[in-house]
């Protein structure tokens, strides 16, 4: 791609061979798993606003909520159903009869059905292997009889003995599930393990059953694990906007889409040009801020203060791995302690200010002095004032 300037090593056959021809699709769980972020409470109207952003982002599926445990989620789902959202609206249900009945009442046609499967989780809930298998079969059969497309969600699957995990997935398919989700509930897998397990599950369920990956970011590897899961055969990636979620958060769908597309040439069904808009909406509605250096959506990604970097500003590929236009961001020069003479020239040109060559040094000195004193940046208005002062000297 002409607007991507990554290492050619990513294109080597031994790197690319494991990746599918695509496309990879995204199942967004911001409205359910994302709302589990500590302190975040989204109203039905706010969930509808986010759902419209997800629709514009090109998300194929929106997990609209967990209606059995939240009347507000049920209300939000009804608002989305009336709003003409193009993405599929999915519910979330435990392997419990009453949960499935609520999906039916709301007229949902798609849902995840979850159950704990690891020995750790089963012990915590006081449930045996036989009992959880019975619950899975009963819930999936009940949903399937009502025409609901089910994706079975194996909670803590990455810490489950492989023989039992295989039994669980096959039981869910026999009961009527159409898809399965490989779930790294507490972010306990590294990328190599994520790829291995996903490939194993794909082998168990066969090529006609779509396999999802659902990961968390407890070791800062959610994006890497999702990419590895794609290598292993996953065709759906579950995650959230901004990677929001409990503990260290979920996988960030925009980061994953960018990595797949730019590093590995894998087609993705996500409109990266809308990622920053969706991110800003979710931050505003949920009431939190992001690190300025966060990939894809961070404020600083295309902002340049360093004088050494400013000298290369006219050659984006020298200082950036992909074009700002790819994510609808603005490239700009800012002034501060680390600015150089080229920074002064570029900022003056941007603001259409006339500076004589001999004035650049004194102006730069004043910019640095003020930036150090306030431990921050110099605004455009303040820079104009500095230039005016030196023009009178």
d(C-alpha 325, C-alpha 303), whole Å: 14
Beta bridge partner(s), residue 155:
116
Q: At 274, list the tokens.
A: 């809308």
129's CB contacts (< 8 A; 6+ apart) are: 122, 164
d(C-alpha 249, C-alpha 290), whole Å: 13
Q: At 86, list the tokens.
A: 């193009």
Predicted confidence at residue 393, as pLDDT, reads 57
Q: At 154, list the tokens.
A: 């194996």
Residues in the chain: 393
Ramachandran angles phi, psi of 181, nearest 5°:
-120, 125
Q: What is the mean pLDDT of each run of 10 residues along the chain (393 residues)?
A: 93 92 95 96 98 98 95 96 97 97 97 98 98 98 98 98 98 98 98 98 98 98 98 98 97 98 97 98 97 97 93 94 97 95 94 92 94 95 92 66
Residue 52 parent element (H or E): helix 44-57
3-state secondary structure of 279: helix
Pairing of strands 179-184, 211-215: parallel
106's CB contacts (< 8 A; 6+ apart) are: 67, 74, 77, 78, 81, 91
d(C-alpha 10, C-alpha 15), whole Å: 6
The CATH class of 8-286 is: alpha beta
Residue ranges per structural domain of the chain? 8-286, 303-391
């Amino acid at each position: 791609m002409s607007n991507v300037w990554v290492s050619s090593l990513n294109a080597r056959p031994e790197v690319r061979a494991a990746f599918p021809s695509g496309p990879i699709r995204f199942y967004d769980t911001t409205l359910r798993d994302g709302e589990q972020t500590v302190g975040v409470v989204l109203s039905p109207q706010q969930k509808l606003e986010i759902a419209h952003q997800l629709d514009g982002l090109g998300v194929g599926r929106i997990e609209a909520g967990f209606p059995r445990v939240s009347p507000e989620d049920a209300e939000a789902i009804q608002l989305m159903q009336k709003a003409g959202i193009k993405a599929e609206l999915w519910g979330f249900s435990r392997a419990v009869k009453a949960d499935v009945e609520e999906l039916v009442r709301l007229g949902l046609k798609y849902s995840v059905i979850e159950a704990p499967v690891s020995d750790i989780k089963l012990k915590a809930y006081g449930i045996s292997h036989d009992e959880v298998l019975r619950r899975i079969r009963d819930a999936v059969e009940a949903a399937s009889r009502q025409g609901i497309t089910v994706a079975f969600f194996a909670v803590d699957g990455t810490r489950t003995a492989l023989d039992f995990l295989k039994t669980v997935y096959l039981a869910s398919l026999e009961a009527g599930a159409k898809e399965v989700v490989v779930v790294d509930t507490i972010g306990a897998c590294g990328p190599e393990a994520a790829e291995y397990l996903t490939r194993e599950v794909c082998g168990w369920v066969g090529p006609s059953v779509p396999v999802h990956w659902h990961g968390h970011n407890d070791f800062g590897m959610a994006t890497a694990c999702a990419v590895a899961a794609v290598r292993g055969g996953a065709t759906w990636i579950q995650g959230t906007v901004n990677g929001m979620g409990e503990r260290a958060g979920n996988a960030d769908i925009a980061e994953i889409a960018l990595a797949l597309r730019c590093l590995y040439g894998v087609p993705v069904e996500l409109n990266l040009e809308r990622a920053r808009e969706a991110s800003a909406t979710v931050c505003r509605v949920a009431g939190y801020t992001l690190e300025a250096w966060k990939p894809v959506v961070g404020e600083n990604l295309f902002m340049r203060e360093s004088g050494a970097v400013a000298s290369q500003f006219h050659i984006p590929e020298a200082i950036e791995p992909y074009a700002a236009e790819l994510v609808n961001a603005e490239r700009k020069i800012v002034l501060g302690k680390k600015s150089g003479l080229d920074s002064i020239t570029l900022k003056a040109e941007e603001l259409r200010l006339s500076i004589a060559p001999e004035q650049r040094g004194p102006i730069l000195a004043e910019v640095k002095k003020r930036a150090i004193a306030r431990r921050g940046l110099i605004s455009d208005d303040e820079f104009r004032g500095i230039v005016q002062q030196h023009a009178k000297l």
